[in-house]
Amino acid sequence: MSLLPLAAQTANDVAQQCADTEIFPLWLRVTHFINFLLMGVLIRSGIEVIASHPRFYFKDQCEPGSEWIRFTKDKVPLEEGAFTARDDQRDLSPLLSLPGRAKIGLGRAWHGVATSFWLLNGVIYVAFLVGTGAWHRLVPTTWQILPDAWDSLLTYAHLRTPSLCDFTPYDSLQQLGYFFIVFIAAPLMIVTGPVMSPAVVGRFPWYAKMFGGRQAARSLHLIGMFIYLGFAIVHVGLVFIVHAPHNLTHIVFGYYDPNRVGQAYVTVIGTILVVVALWIAMSYWTLTDTRRSQRILWDATRGIRHLTVDRFSSQQATKKPWTEKDISKFHWVNTRTPSREESPEYQELAANDFADFRLEVGGMVSAPASFSLAELKAISSQSQITMHTCMQGWTGIAKWTGIRVRDLLAQVGQIDPEAGWVMFESFGMAQSMHDGRPVEPYYTCLPLDMALEDDTILAWGRNDAPLSGMFGAPLRLRCETSHGYKMIKWVRSVTLIRHYSEVGDGMGGTREDSGYQDVNARI
């Protein structure tokens, strides 16, 4: 039967071909609608994240030219620092991505919120699926489904459509598609998603290695997104092409009613338009009220993170999951060494190989002090091969050598019991400020307990050589359960404070103040 004659038939003619006793219950229709809404948020915020580093690899070293796919024409020179990760970032329209305009911090926040609700909706859906016995709609129970699905595919390929009698409530090809999406594609997204968290990789390096590394998991996550996007386009298209009156009345009312076909058309099309408008409105609200949206979105997942990734401390220094052979030959950077205009003091210190540099350590301690590089090296030294995880998506593996922050803090007397955070300030400057005021020095804050972890060091060396300017000389922070924006370069001072809300714009660091990231960079 061709599509054209089928379209010419009335809804009553189609319905009379096959008695349909299947009912789509309310729980099924509600969870499908919620899934449609959330998948749009996930895909659009995912596009925002992709635009921040539009390259995908299967190896964690992320060397230029090793991408298996990239969404940019830019070629990266092999000289480290000649082309930064921020140079690679793309500024997309709010009509396409969420929120758009290179606001990856807010895009990541939206992705986290949508993921949480998507998982909850999925659990409810599967619970009803199993509890009501409706699982038989999706789960094949005989191998006959394979040749039947092939016949259905050939029917579509010849621009014909299966008989309505084949849909009970789904035909074989449709059933296989739904089974794949629910029980294969969705779990793929669920198990690869956590690998994007530096806290998960730092605490459980073996988990990332299960997929071949973090970049392999990131690539699988991208493939999963393409699968969902393609499925959504085909699925929605076929709803309107194949037995549309039957499909739409089931979607809206749960059963076929020839007298309500027009109402079903209006409801479904109207709902799609409203949801699309809502997706776009999310972007413009986020961009218009950035600080409020930052607080609301990140706070929405704070409880979940407190119960999960906040409890993870890095095991990379002790478990040694990476060795010398894993070290990246090329390591991305996303900032450049402070210029003379930005920091004349830094340039003067660098000209003398930091011989006159002294790290100031103070704040809520009983014996503030300052230390030269030689004095720091005499206190203690620790080397660790770890994976650097940038929230943009790239990774790099390097050997870092420096002093543990807890050994440093042991040199400045007693810590005030009310001190809860450690602020690290840089010779470098912020790239922009939230309210447009002149840029200020870069800083970041860590919880005191994170600063005291085994893997948290102030590094002066990289790959058995002195730290170079582009990688943060004379000192850079390494906290291996966090994204790179917490690992401040060109450290000039360490200050114990009561709470991060008392410094800067009160958000926890420069990236949080002006880049709308969260003070908790574990995910």
- Domain spans in the chain, listed from the N-terminal domain onward: 26-53+89-305, 315-515
pLDDT over threshold 50, residue 417: yes
- Average pLDDT of the residues in 253-277: 94
The pLDDT assigned to 9 comes to 46
Burial of 21 (0-12, 13-18, 19+ CB in 10 A): exposed
**What pLDDT, on the 0 to 100 scale, is given for residue 189?**
96
pLDDT of 168 strictly over 80: no
In this prediction, residue 66 carries a pLDDT of 95
Superfamily of domain 26-53+89-305 in the CATH hierarchy:
Transmembrane di-heme cytochromes, Chain C (1.20.950.20)
Burial 90-127 (b: 16+ CB within 10 A, else e): bebebeebbbbebbbbbbbbbbbbbbbbbbebbeebee
How is domain 315-515 classified at the architecture level of CATH?
Alpha-Beta Complex (3.90)
pLDDT above 70 (res 124)? yes
Give 509-518 pLDDT, tens digit per residue: 999 999 899 9
Phi, psi of 125 (to 5 degrees): -60, -50
Let me know: does 507 contact 439? Beta carbons within 8 Å: no
Determine the length of the chain: 523
Degrees (nearest 5) of the Cα angle 459, 420, 507?
80
Report the pLDDT averaged over residues 61-77.
93
Mean pLDDT, residues 107-111: 95
pLDDT digits (tens, 9 = 90+) for 299-315: 999 999 999 999 999 98
Residue 279: per-residue pLDDT: 97
| pTM for the structure as a whole | 0.91
In single-letter form, the type of residue at position 212 comes to G
pLDDT attached to residue 430: 83
Confidence of residue 137 (pLDDT cuts 50, 70, 90): confident
Nearest-CA neighbor of 243 among 510, 18, 469? 18
Check if the beta carbon of residue 331 is closer than 8 Å to that of residue 80.
yes
Task: Output the pLDDT for position 354.
Answer: 96
271: left (phi over 0), alpha (psi -120 to 50) or beta: alpha
> What pLDDT score does 1 carry?
37
**Which two three-digit tokens encode residue 508?**
């926890």
Read out DSSP for 43-77?
Answer: HHHHHHHHHHS-EE-SSTT--TT--SEES------
pLDDT (mean) for 325-345: 92
> Does residue 355 have a pLDDT over 50?
yes
Q: For residues 466 and 424, is the Cβ–Cβ distance under 8 A? A: no
| pLDDT for the residue numbered 337 | 92
SS3 167: coil
| Predicted confidence (pLDDT) at residue 487 exceeds the cutoff of 50 | yes
Vertex 337: Cα angle to 335 and 339 (nearest 5): 120
At residue 221, the 3 state secondary structure works out as helix
Query: Given a cut of 80, is residue 90 above it in pLDDT?
Result: yes
* pLDDT at position 20 over 70: no
Alpha carbons within 13 angstroms on the beta-carbon side of residue 488 total: 26
Whole-number Å distance between alpha carbons of 96 and 92? 7
What's the chain's average pLDDT?
92
Q: Is the pLDDT of residue 267 over 60?
A: yes
Residue 182 is predicted with a pLDDT of: 94
List residues bridging with 443 in a β-sheet. 425
Cis ω before 5 (30° cut-off from 0)? no
For residue 286, pLDDT beyond 50: yes
